[in-house]
Amino acid sequence: MPKATKKGSMASDGIKARGFFRLQIADNGKVVGDSGWKENTVVNLGFQDYLAATLGAVAGSKQITFAMLGTGTAPAATATALDGEITDAAATRCAVTPTTIASKTVQFAFTLASNVYTAAKTIQNVGLINHSSTATAGTIFSGNTYTTSALATNQSVNGLTKWPQQLVTAVRKFSKLQGHLFEAICSQARNIVMFLEGSTTIMGGARLAHGIV
């Protein structure tokens, strides 16, 4: 479908929903590592099984119930699992606590407790999934990487994922609206000046006279 132009009846601007996550490493309650807010990648089966199928109550639809950490790369669009997921200890997947914010954002909070890992790890990716067991696997919904972080066995990880991130899309839309308003104000200002000066402007071959009669 072609994009509508400014002269068309359909608006050309749109808002894309995006998910974001943030991880913090804690040592005795003190934050010693912070990924900052990073954008998620929703995989193809994430859109199909978790979003489209769930909305349609289609058999086989999935819901996010656990988060997982890993040592690998960001998931590709065709991924079904988290690359390098840490699975060498019991309960390495973290149960999520879902809540809704302002009716349009769902938030998943989770914690990897200290001493779950039996050896120090270098973590660098995270993902959301629909199953607690690494043996059963499940299907990944989304995930991404962050700056490589050393995690000691006595440290915990607190995670927060939001989908979509309404604040980001709202700010972008407001900034774009500001630009449109500025252009409109400038255009009106030019028209007023031309009117007061009684100037004549040629537009599209037609002469438009401006002045007080």
> Which tokens sit at 169?
């899309």
Helices (H), 88-165: none
**pLDDT, tens digit (0-9, with 9 covering 90-100), for 24-70:** 999 999 999 999 999 999 999 999 999 999 999 999 999 999 999 99
Determine the Cα–Cα distance for residues 126 and 146; give it in Å rounded to an integer. 8
**pLDDT, tens digit (0-9, with 9 covering 90-100), for 148-159:** 999 999 999 999
Q: How far is CA 79 from CA 121, 154, 166, 204, in A?
A: 23, 31, 26, 54
pLDDT of residue 4: 46
Q: How far is CA 136 from CA 93, 126, 194, in A?
A: 12, 18, 73
- In the chain, % of residues over pLDDT 70: 68
pLDDT at 1 over 80: no
**pLDDT, tens digit (0-9, with 9 covering 90-100), for 160-197:** 999 875 444 433 443 454 555 556 555 665 665 555 55
- pLDDT band, very low/low/confident/very high, at 210 (cuts 50, 70, 90): very low
Q: Are 126 and 159 in contact (CB under 8 A)?
A: yes
pLDDT of residue 19: 86
| Average pLDDT score over residue span 115-123 | 95
Could you give the 3-state DSSP secondary structure of residue 213? coil
| Residue 31, Cβ density class (10 Å: 0-12 exposed, 13-18 middle, ≥19 buried) | exposed
> Which tokens sit at 101?
């914010």
